[in-house]
Amino acid sequence: MILQYITWDLEPQIIDFGSFELRYYSLMFGLGFILGYYILARFFRREGISIELLDKLTFYVIIATIIGARFGHCLFYEPEEYLTNPLKIILPFTGKIGVDFRFTGYQGLASHGGAIGILIGLGLFSMKYKQPFLGLLDKISVVTALAACFIRLGNLFNSEIYGVATDLPWGVKFMRESLYGVPVEEIVPKHPTQIYESIAYLLIFIVLILLYNKKSSALKQGFILGLFLISTFVSRFLIEFVKEDQVNFEEGMFLNMGQWLSIPFIIFGIYLLIRKPKQTITE
């Protein structure tokens, strides 16, 4: 029998206590950071850098990622919604206190905003602890690719950020569309763009960690970062062509918001690759 499509109807909650729920997305998000920490610990030990410094760096990265990703979504995709109700930017809750108050995690995080947040956070960390800015970003880029892989799997568990309709055999019917008013009989197979991105980021991670482990002493600072930015955001740019618009104002745009936001990162990545070499990553 030839596969025609895949049906996806998984509940996004692992555990639901009524006023608190644990979602697969949160688990994937946390797993990405935990694995990233252990990989960075190996880098730090090999280069003789204090693990205590890594603990401080981890705090900066987590806070910068969450703040950047949250504000990025609010400012890039739904500015009017959040400017009229600014508390929604910082409160990861739904419902009314005392009636249907639920901690669900943030509903809306933008990877481009997360990238900007990390750049700012690491800039502050670099100045405070006198660490090479580009050298830190090279290390962070390796584990960020892996974290992005897990985050997109989290989006799959949430049945969100999928693509346009397709008749390809790996098309997925996301049955939870029925919760948003789409009749069950009208749900059609869509491109599972979360899986496309997850696979792309996993491959990028494998390439970057092999390069870092074998060539970091010979590569200039910023090379790994540049390669990460180009490969990640070119992948994102191309996949966006088969992804549904995230917000209404993207309809009819020549390029959607995700593609426009990817272009500066690609250009910056190219600059990092062609710039004249200075210090190597491990210096």
Tens-digit pLDDT profile for the chain (283 aa)? 456 788 999 988 888 776 677 889 889 989 998 999 999 999 999 988 889 999 999 888 888 888 887 777 677 666 666 666 666 666 554 433 333 333 334 456 677 777 888 889 889 999 999 888 998 999 999 999 999 999 999 999 999 889 999 999 999 999 988 887 888 888 999 999 999 999 999 999 999 999 999 887 788 889 999 999 999 999 999 999 999 877 666 677 778 888 988 999 999 999 999 988 667 666 6
Strands 93-94 and 102-103, by their bridges, are antiparallel
Which residue, chain included where needed, has tokens 């730090």?
A: 44
CB contact at 8 A, 174 and 162? yes
User: Encoding tokens for residue 218?
Assistant: 């010979």
Question: What is the C-alpha to C-alpha distance for residues 57 and 260, in angstroms, rounded to an integer?
Answer: 30
Kindly list the domain boundaries of the chain, sorted by start residue: 6-274
> Which are the contacts of 234, defined by CB distance < 8 A and separation ≥ 6?
262, 266
Q: What are phi and psi of 56, to 5 degrees?
A: -70, -40
Type and span of the H or E element at 116: helix 111-129
